[in-house]
Amino acid sequence: MAASTTETPVGRVKPSRLIDLEQHKDERGCISVAESQWTAGFPIRRVYFLHDLTDGTSRGGHAHRELEQLFIAAHGGFTIHVDDGHQRAEYRLDTPGTALYVGPMVWRDLRDFTPGGVCLVLASHHYDEADYYREYEDFLRDSRRHA
């Protein structure tokens, strides 16, 4: 079950939000569906996943200028912290039936991965290093400038 520790939206450009994925269940199991415009709200141009993570590792630690993403716990679970320079929230994703949308200008940190956990990420753009904020102070400066 995905849960947030706050009801305050994080993301001044486009707020972060939980999305219930379309699911089809029968006696054989379940299929969870994420489609570009209908589910994500953006065209999906890149798909990647985090796996074989060492105990205690964290991922993310950056923000994007334009990129939009859906995060899905494909197996196991993890916690994602989001911060737009004004508001912060924390979400625990531990079911493949729920995704977390994270838009542009939101710092993200992923932690507390369960053993064998897999984080599936659907992204609106191909990899572009120029889109990244790698330094939190640079991100804060720009996020607060556009407030």
Annotated active-site residue in 62, 75, 125, 146: 62
Q: Where are the alpha helices (DSSP H) in 98-135?
A: none
Instruction: Report yes or no on whether pTM surpasses 0.85.
Output: yes
Q: Which residues pair with 111 in a beta bridge?
A: 79
Supply the range of the domain harboring residue 72.
Answer: 13-23+35-145
Structure tokens at 38: 């209908």
- Sheet of strand 69-75, all strands in order from the earlier edge strand to the far edge: 17-20, 98-102, 69-75, 118-123, 46-50
Helix (H, G, I), strand (E, B) or coil at 58: coil
Residue corresponding to tokens 């710092």: 107
Q: How far apart are CA 96 and CA 82, in angstroms?
A: 19
Is the residue at 4 inside a domain? no
Per-residue pLDDT reduced to its tens digit, 46-72: 999 999 998 889 999 999 999 999 999
Is the residue at 136 inside a domain? yes
Is the residue at 66 inside a domain? yes
**Is 62 marked active-site?**
yes
Per-residue pLDDT reduced to its tens digit, 72-93: 999 999 999 999 999 999 999 9
Instruction: Provide the CATH number for the domain around residue 54.
Output: 2.60.120.10
pLDDT at residue number 39: 82
Q: How many structural domains compose the chain? A: 1
